[in-house]
Structure 1
């Protein structure tokens, strides 16, 4: 199977009498990449303005200034903040061309009925907009976000500095707090995400337990951060990173040997010539689901263009592009013709690479014979411990997080 033709099944929306519609998109470096912008502009006949930033930075901007964007791209933990601030409005699923192709993960919280749904905000729990203004899993035609990219996050480590562990048996979130890595550990600087990395590490190290790790009590949050402040003041953490390029730079510099990581960061490190493994923790992954949201100010031509951009993301080519940095798309079968058989077998099926594979930047990131850590798409999402979530006690989390970062 080779690469499919690039022609998309819908026409460009520009008309001869109008200037190109402009769609302003804010989000993170994960999806706001120049090759994606250029390809979408070419395919759709619209103008895209990408404004990438750190996750906490762009969430604050989106929740306070919805007039500054049409589309917001981030992760499932952003939804409750955006919805409660009324920064976004419901998306009409009837205008999503490939809605019926989306797999069960976003609609039911799991790929298989036998899988356990992880703690916290599984994607289905915040997908459907109800008449009373709430979000839950009861299917309706109005949705809070468009499900698209997603992944199972864990820790990245340098096997030249950290003994390689066996996936699902030895690799552990506890490595973030292991004394042998003191001074060479980094954590993502996003309180709604980083708190789970630290909580999973604390639990793995036997420091504490949680009644419900996806909805921690105020007492549990207080206790967790007391432990983390002790580590921070002892110099255990080398830093807190704000973006994917920042995380890769920390690893490439040699200052960090194990850290919170997103898959594109691992890809950048490997492209830079340094080995980096993406762990399959025995405690399970921290899952996240990409959320593409529509500003409540979007209207007219810009809103129509925004819908075409959302449809474009599910049209095949973007899903294949994003797979090369380790991400999945909600309707993968449409992307499969845009991937070689070797790419599909490695990224989705979890099989050994039959040839060297290139990342989105064109550089080789996977060597012949290498196998994706954690196995297939189905196996990885059968092992979700907790989903990215803004918990009810987020105000306390935020207060403690700021104290931790500056301590």
Structure 2
């Protein structure tokens, strides 16, 4: 692999490699808090200025990222920092759904001034269920790690709504992952794990999208009003996997002619990478891929319900496996902060881990080589959605906001900066908004029109690349988006995260891993 000079990368004074990340192997790393008097808050941002990637604040439970001059994702605790015009709307959500750049575009497109509390996923759940969020905010943006916990709340904290309130959802076409998930999800996942579509459809996709029948005892599992009343509108989703540095992980190979690195989640536990692996410190998410890895490799029986909804005994099996890995020194750190993880990859302090795809984009943007892996056991998926709160008096404005979220400006932004997808990607509006080259690269597994240096394939930066706005011919030497077309990825989904019924035990058992 050709050595590439990285953009300069700076830590704040007093920080070490992984500011405020939990150290999984104390002998492999040490971390220090920000220096006293440094004036840094607990929020971490990355900015790109003058070609440099610079960390300018300290870590948070989840990463709130910012790219200067409104060029890319950005958020603040009460977004936005810029003066917005339009009708006021109050929102609660995570940084990957709400940012300053998006809010500025929202104001310009539909004259909505979004005042958002951008916070971590656990806090969103707490605020909505027990913190009065249903009366404080007009809408909530959230993901599948917690939506069904909100659906189970009594009295309801959100409002169900008719599909006709969202014109773009009604017009479609809606990707068949949402209309007939049982027929397209996980069809290429081998037994005993797959096919996974039927279970994922009934355990997550349908319950998160569609409202429950009135009066059912477990609304989080019900979707009796399917087709007539929405619980949330799906906004974007992705296929989580292992992100690895090909410079150091020689056991994994990447096919430049397809964009595929075929392997296993087990790469994270390969002793050749001891002390250089990392794992997400969110039990309701991280355990999903560990469960399918163990089942797929005959180290665990198939779960009684599903890998996203483990029993206490099954959770113990997963956690005990991870404790063994931790004691062997496999993990450099466990991570819950996006910015910290980008740091670790660019500085080559970690070589591989269960990263979100935006980490890949930002590591490459900072000059670090990396690829996203296609795991034999299947991808670990999640789904974002939006709904009006129970107490809002601005329902029509909320629906306008949701409709905008599905539109071309937001969908193009998410695809370029984060690698995320929209449910109506097949619409002519989205195709036109993204342009033919970018749309085909993201969704259809086609190469870029421009030839790319094969020795720098792991550095291809979709943020910096100039995408054609008119039709052209994919180059035989062009870059392919990692993991291929969206249909290929959908057919290889092994598990889809949800808020499990046994969540209390998840957190209890995970505590053993943290303290091991």
The two structures have a TM-score, normalised by structure 2, of 0.69
Superposed displacement of residue 124, structure 1: 1.9
Match of 1:59 among 125, 131, 134: 125
State TM-score, norm by structure 1: 0.86
The CA deviation string for residues 189-210 of structure 1, in whole angstroms up to 9 with x for no partner, is: 2221111122234345553232
Q: Which residue of 2 aligns with 1:109?
A: 181
Q: CA deviation at 1:260?
A: 1.1
Counterpart in the other structure of 2:289: 197
The RMSD of aligned alpha carbons is 2.6
Find out whether 1:132 has 2:215 as its counterpart: yes
**Which residue of 1 is the match for residue 392 of structure 2?**
298
Residues 31, 114 of structure 1: CA spacing in aligned structure 2 closer, same or farther, 3 A cutoff?
closer
> For structure 1, which segment, 126-135 or 390-399, has the greater mean C-alpha deviation from structure 2 after superposition?
126-135
- The aligned counterpart of 1:10 is none
SS at match of 1:91: coil
C-alpha displacement of 1:376: 0.7
**79-88 or 260-269, which moves further after superposition?**
79-88
For 1:68, the equivalent position in structure 2 comes to 136
| Aligned equivalents of 1:220, 1:263: Cα separation in 2 | 28
Preserved CA contact (<8 Å) 1:28 1:52 = yes
Q: Distance in 1 between matches of 2:430 and 2:183?
A: 18
TM-aligned CA distance change 1:194 to 1:280, over 3 Å: same
Partner secondary structure for residue 90 of structure 2: strand
| Contact 1:109–1:122 (CA under 8 A) maintained in structure 2 | no
Once residues 244 and 224 of structure 1 are traced to their aligned partners in structure 2, the CA distance between those partners, rounded to angstroms, is 24
What residue ranges of structure 1 are gaps of 5+ in the alignment? 1-18
Tell whether the 8 Å contact from 2:95 to 2:118 is kept in structure 1 after alignment: yes
Counterparts in 2 of 1:33 and 1:284: CA distance versus 1, 3 Å: same
SS at match of 1:283: coil
CA separation of 1:245 and 1:109: change in aligned 2, threshold 3 A: farther
Contact 2:245-2:370 at 8 Å conserved across structures: yes
State the 4+ residue runs in structure 1 displaced beyond 6 angstroms.
365-368
Distance 2:290 2:378 in 1: 14
Which of the pair has the greater relative contact order for Cα pairs under 8 Å at 6+ separation? Answer: 1
**Structure 1 pair 241/57, CA: closer, same or farther in 2 (3 Å)?**
farther
Match of 1:331 in 2: 424
What residue ranges of structure 2 are gaps of 5+ in the alignment?
1-84, 188-194, 453-459, 468-474
| Contact 2:186/2:494 (<8 A) preserved | no
Report if the CA contact (8 A) 2:441-2:447 is conserved: yes
Q: Work out the CA distance in 2 between the residues paired with 1:113 and 1:81.
A: 23
Structure 1 residue 169, shift from structure 2 partner: 7.6
Check the 8 A contact 2:169/2:403 in 1, yes or no.
no
Aligned-partner Cα distance in 1 for 2:422–2:292 = 26
Corresponding position: 1:381 with 2:490: yes
Contact 1:27/1:58, CA 8 A, preserved across alignment:
yes
The alpha-carbon distance between structure 1 residues 229 and 112, as it changes in their structure 2 partners (threshold 3 A), is closer
Per-residue CA deviations over 1:372-393 (Å, capped at 9, x if unaligned) read: 2221111110111111122222
Spell out, residue by residue over 1:33-68, the C-alpha distance to the aligned partner (whole angstroms, 9 max, x if none). Answer: 222111001112121123333333333333333233
Q: Which whole-Å deviations, capped at 9, do the CAs of 1:329-369 have from their partners, x for residues lacking one? A: 0001231101122111211110122237864xx43499971
Corresponding residue to 1:83 among 124, 146, 151: 151
User: In the aligned structure 1, how far is the partner of 2:498 from the partner of 2:301?
Assistant: 18
Other structure's SS at 2:329 match: coil
Aligned residue pair count: 385
